[in-house]
Structure formats: C-alpha cells, structure tokens
C-alpha cells in the first residue's frame, strides 16, 4: 500500500523502528515528538496525512490529548488514529475508544501486526 502517515513518538529508537517498517512497506512517514508538535504540524500542513499513528505517554501533550485535538478540529476529525503504547488497560482502551481510535496496539508491536493494522486503517478510509 501507499499513503502518508504521521507517526507521533517520543522514543527515538521506537520511532526509527516504526519509520523503517512503514517506509519499507511503501508508506511516506512524517514524524513528531509529541502531541503538541503533531497538532501544530497538522494545523500548518496543507496536505494532511491519511493516518495518525501515536504513542500514548509523551511529554507536553500525550496521545489522548492528540486524539482530542484531532477529533475537535473539523479539518482533521476524519483521520483514522492508531495508538501504540507500552501500557495497557481497560480504562485506557475505553478512553481511546471514546475518541474513535481505530485500534490500540501494545508495544512492542510485531511488524506484521503493525502493517496489517495500518493497511486496514488505510483501507477503511478509501
């Protein structure tokens, strides 16, 4: 598949892993180090990504802050969001679901699971 993905991740090692996996699969990747930077980038860019793939725990603005910002803006509200986090729990999954998150993945995410989930999210917008 092809498409433009915004990856929001504060861990440079994990960001590199995800970028390589997505690029190798044919996706174009833009990255941001936290939700605040991602929301600013989304506000400033004329060409929106097809998907937002975000970590949950980040400084300044976390993944749920990012979800709220994306859903609260009519320009970006339609974007599918995938959360990847090392922490898991019913409460976090429920909060993510309230924002219409496409999927909640637990890190470390196997390459096959990541790519299948991204492909499914991209296909859901077609």
Q: Does residue 1 carry a pLDDT above 80?
A: no
- Considering the four listed CATH numbers 3.30.160.270, 3.40.50.2300, 3.40.50.720, 3.10.20.90, the one that applies to the domain covering 3-124 is 3.40.50.2300
Residue 81 confidence (pLDDT) above 90: yes
pLDDT at 2 over 90: no
Please report which helix (H) or strand (E) contains residue 85, including its range. Answer: strand 81-85
Please provide residue 45's backbone torsions phi and psi, each rounded to the nearest 5 degrees. -90, 135
Q: What pLDDT, on a 0 to 100 scale, did the predictor assign at position 104?
A: 97
pTM summary value:
0.95
27 - beta bridge partners? Answer: 3
Beta carbons of 6 and 125 less than 8 angstroms apart: no
Query: Rounded CA gap, 98 and 96, in Å?
Result: 5
| Separation of alpha carbons 35 and 41, rounded Å | 10
């Amino acid at each position: 598949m092809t498409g433009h993905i915004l990856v929001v991740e504060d861990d440079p090692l994990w960001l590199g892993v995800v970028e390589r996996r997505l690029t190798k699969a044919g996706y174009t990747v833009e990255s941001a180090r936290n939700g605040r930077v991602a929301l600013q980038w989304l506000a400033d860019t004329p060409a929106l990504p097809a998907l937002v793939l975000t970590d949950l725990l980040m400084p300044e603005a976390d993944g749920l802050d990012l979800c709220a910002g994306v859903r609260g803006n009519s320009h970006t509200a339609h974007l599918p969001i995938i959360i990847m986090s090392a922490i898991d729990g019913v409460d976090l999954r429920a909060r993510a679901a309230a924002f219409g998150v496409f999927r909640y993945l637990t890190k470390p995410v196997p390459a096959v699971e990541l790519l299948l989930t991204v492909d499914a999210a991209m296909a859901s917008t077609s």
